[in-house]
Amino acid sequence: MLRMSWGSTLAWTPYGRLVASDGSWSYQFTSRDLRLAIPMMAGESRNIYDQFAQLATMSNRLYWTRDLRVVRRDGYVLPKPHTFADMILAYSSVIGPWFRTHGDERTISRRRDLLEANPEDFDPATVSLATEFMTGQLYEVRAFQGLVHFAECDFGRAEHGEPTMKISNCFWKASGWPRDLFIVPTKEEGSSVLLPLGLGIGGVAAYLALSGKLGPLLSD
């Protein structure tokens, strides 16, 4: 079987946008965003709903820090405007540049393997989820509104207190997040986001299953 390369997976993807529900902000997804989101998701959790929350959290975080000076742990200052990929590299403890050289040999090797893996080396559901999120076929849900932090629960509680949500990781909402604001993935040409906004965490699984969003992206 011919191995799928990143080039063939990313090249023809019809990337969508993130938009603020109040119309004040938007962001165009790129192939670099997708290329880094997949290993982040795979390395942070094997739970598909946790991975969905990670995408929402990084989207919210991109909006929340849009006007802020963001410095990665390795000292690199992110240029403005920030990108989704920038958020991943600044935040993810599994593929961020600083973390790739810190830890025991086994951990460093695992982080390197995540970045060097081909698309078919990942769970097809993870690849499909990231792709459909970034092409506007999966939307933000009400349960993820305002989440801007996630971490292993015991570690995160020490810094952020009790979490807003717990899946495999724990997730925290930004203090002061506007009550009616959502950051929503949408297609380039625009699409309705009203129905998915009504879903709570209990509806995530049903929405994904009924709409077929967790089917494999890659085929033989």
Task: Please report the pLDDT score of residue 188 as a whole number.
Answer: 67
Task: Please report the pLDDT score of residue 138 as a whole number.
Answer: 78
* pLDDT one digit per residue (tens) for the chain, 220 residues: 334 456 666 777 889 999 999 999 999 999 999 999 999 999 999 999 999 999 999 999 999 999 999 999 889 899 999 999 999 999 998 988 887 787 678 878 888 888 888 888 889 999 999 999 999 987 767 789 999 999 999 988 988 999 999 999 999 999 999 999 999 999 865 444 443 444 444 444 444 544 444 433 222 2
The angle subtended at Cα 50 by Cα 41 and Cα 196, nearest 5°, is: 110
Task: Please report the pLDDT score of residue 200 as a whole number.
Answer: 44
Decide if 139 contacts 196 (C-beta within 8 A): yes
The whole-model pTM stands at 0.84
DSSP class of 129: H
Residue 99 CA: distances (Å) to CA of 73, 149, 152: 9, 17, 15
Instruction: Please confirm whether the linkage preceding 178 is cis (ω < 30° from 0).
Output: no
